[in-house]
Chain A
Amino acid sequence: MPPLLEVTNLSTEFRTGLGTVPAVDGISYTVDRGETVAIVGESGSGKTASALALLRLIPDPPGRISGGRVLFNGRDLLRLSDAEMREVRGGDIGMVFQEPMTSLNPVLTIGRQITETLEQHRGADRITAHHRAIELLGLVGIADPLRRLKQYPHQLSGGMRQRIMIAIAIACDPKLIIADEPTTALDVTIQAQILELMKSLTRRLDAALIVITHNLGVVARYANRVNVMYAGRIVESGPAQAVYHHPGHPYTMALLRSVPRLDRPRQARLDPIAGQPPDLTRLDGGCAFRPRCRFAVEACARRRPAMAPTRAAGHFAACLRSDEIAVATEVAV
C-alpha cells in the first residue's frame, strides 16, 4: 500500500529585505496510515514553513512554494484548485497550531466554530452539527459541553482552548492531523494531558499524526519515526529508537548530548553545540552544519550531502561521515 502522504523535494522560500530565505530546501518524507511522525529542529529550521507548505498556507508574498510534490491519498495537493484545497484543509487533514488563541475566531462561540467546520466540510445541517459538536467535546474531555459551546475562546484556559482546537481538527474524521508545537505554550501537566489525548484520539480514529516540536522528549514519548531538520533540510530521518540510539548525523548527536536529563543525576558540564544556527540568506554550497560540526572535514565545504541510508533499515542521514560517526557514538556510549 502506498504511504498516506508522500512529500518529495518540497521547497519554499521567502523574499525578505535581506535576501531570499530558502526556508524549506527540498525535503522528502512519507507518513503511513495511522503512524505518528515527528519533525524536530531548532527555531528557524523550517518546521512550520514545511507544514504550511503542505497545506498551501504559505503567505504569498513574501513566501512562495518553489517546487516539489505532495501526494496525499493519491492526489498532488500542490495541483489542486483553491476550492479543492480548502476542502482538504479541515476535512481530510486536521490542523492544530501552537497558539489556539490566534487560530480560533475570538468573536464566534466555540459551538459555532465547530458546527461551521461540519457544515462546510460534511454538509451537515444545524441540528446534526450541534449534536456532533456535543459528542466531540466529550471526546476531547471537556465536561459540561452545553455550557462550553455557548462560550467564547477568551473565556477558556489555554489547555481548554487547545482541546477545542483538537475537537475541530478531528470533527471530520481526518486521515491526517498536523500539529505544530501543539503544547509548547502550555504547562507541563497540561502538556501531558493534551499529548495523551492526541495519542488516544489518533489511535481511535486511525489517523496519522505529524507532530512538529523542538522538544526531544515529546518525540521520544510519542513518535514512531522522526525527521530532524536543520537550516531548511531534513538531515536525518528514521525510527525514533534508531535515531536516538545511533544518530547518523553529527547535529542529531550533538543535540541529544546537549540536553540535561531529568532521569539522570547531574554528571559534568553540559556539552553544548558551539556557535549559532546559520543565517539562511548566506548559505554557501557546503553542509550548513559544517561551521559547528566537530567532525567537519574539507570535503564538507564542497557540497551539501544528500540523504543516504545508514546501517539500520529506514534510517537515513545527510552526512559524508555518517558511518564513522555511528562508530564514534557506539564507543562513546
Chain B
Amino acid sequence: MNAVATANTDRPPLLEVRGLRMHFPITEGVLIGRKLGEVKAVDGVDFAIRRGETLGLVGESGCGKTTTGRCILRLERPTAGEVRFNGVDILALEGRELLALRRRIQVIFQDPYSSLNPRMKVGEIIAEPIRVHGIERDAARRARRVGELLSVCGLDPKFADRYPHEMSGGQRQRVGIARALALEPEFIVCDEAVSALDVSIQAQIINLLEGLREQFNLTYLFIAHDLSVVRHLCQRVAVMYLGRIVELAASDELFDNPLHPYTQALLAAVPVPDPEVEGRRGFRPLAGEVPSPINPPPGCVFHPRCPMAVADCQRTRPELREIRPGHWVACSQVDPPAWREAFAQSSVGRKDGKIPVVSS
C-alpha cells in the first residue's frame, strides 16, 4: 500500500507513519493476566507530514487519534508499524538517541491545568526541560530564556513568578506552549490543544500557534475534534474512524469535496454559525453509535452506519486509494474518475502508481 505517498519525491517527509497498529490487551486477573481480547485502538494507519506543514487528525472520541500521537511521542510502544522521523525509525531508538529525539518532538495537551505541575512556578515549569536536557546550566541565563519564551507566547515575563492556578485557562495554555518550545523542537503534537478554551481565547491561541509555526518553521500534527478549527489551521487533514484513516486530503479539498460517507456525515453534523446557511442546509444525522474497537465490524468498519453500504462492504476491508491527486479514500463505493487512467498513461504518470504531490 502506498498511502504514505504524499511525500515529495526529492525530499523525505519529516515524519512518516506506516502500518501503525496499537492493540491494547484486555486481561483478566492481576497475577495470571489471562488475555480476554484486545482493543484495536490504532489498526493500520499510514500518513506522512512534510516539514513546515500542519496535518490535522480528526475523528470522534476513541477513534485512535490520541493513541497515534502517543506512539509518535514514544509514550506508547506500538504493536506493529514504523514511525520515521527525518528518515530514522524512532521506534528502535534507546538511551542517548532517544533523549535527543525527545528534544526534537514535543507535545501540547488539551488540559493546561492537569498538564502543569501545580506546585511549580511557571518559570520553573518552563525551565525544567532546559535544565533536564542540560542545555543551559547557568540559572540566570536560564531565567532570561524563560522570559523570552513567555514573551514569544504573548505573556508578560513577570508571569514566571506565578503558579498555574493563578492564571486563566488561556494563559495556562500559553505556558504549556512555552514549555513545549523550550527545547526548540522541530515537530509538535498538538493534542486537542485549543479544545478546552473559550471561543474568544481559542482564537488567540490558534493565532499564536500559526505565528510560531512561521517563526520557527515548526511542523504540527494537530489532533482535534473541532473541524472548523482544523480547516483553519491545517494544510492537510486525515479523518479517522475506529482506528483507521478513512480519508486524507488537502484541507480545502476535504472540506469542499468530502468523498467518504463518514466524512460527509461528520461535516454535515457540524452546525455553521449562520442561521441563513443553516436554514438552507437540511440534513439527516448519521444513525447509530461508533462500535466498540474490541470487536470492530468485519470488512469496512463503517458499514453498519453507512448509508451507501453494499453487501461486499461487510466482507472486504477497503484500503486507502488515491482517487484524485493527494486525495485518499478508503471506500469501495467511491470510483476513481477517468482522469486517473489518462494520467497513468501520460508522461507525468509514474510506473509505481505513486503520484507526486501536486497540491497541498
Contact = CB atoms under 8 A, between A and B. Distances in A.
Contact of B228 (A43, A245, A260, A271): A260
Interface in B250-275: 251-252, 255-256, 265-275
A42 B198 contact: yes
Contacts of B202: 258, 272
Given A187-B290, A216-B199, A221-B278, A276 B170 contact: yes
B198 A187 contact: no
B269 A262 contact: no
B266 A262 contact: no
Given A157-B289, A216-B199, A255-B199, A270 B274 contact: no
A269 B60 contact: no
Interface residues of B, number: 48
B270 A188 contact: yes
Contacts of A245: 275-276
Interface stretch (B78-86, B91-99, B204-212, B323-331): B204-212
A270 B207 contact: yes
A269 B199 contact: no
Interface string A120-153: 0000000000000000000000000000000000
A61 interface: no
Nearest to B198: A42
Interface residues of A, number: 46
A191 B265 CA distance: 12
Interface in A98-137: none
Contact of A187 (B60, B228, B251, B267): B60
Given A189-B266, A262-B228, A262-B231, A241 B200 contact: no
A191 B204 contact: no
A266 B251 contact: yes
Given A220-B272, A244-B273, A262-B272, A277 B207 contact: no
A319 to B, nearest CB: 17
B203 A270 contact: yes
A221 to B, nearest CB: 4
Nearest to B284: A196
Given A196-B285, A241-B275, A259 B170 contact: no
Given A43-B198, A262-B231, A188 B203 contact: no
11 contacts: A42-B199, A188-B270, A216-B199, A217-B270, A244-B274, A258-B200, A260-B203, A260-B231, A265-B256, A273-B203, A277-B200
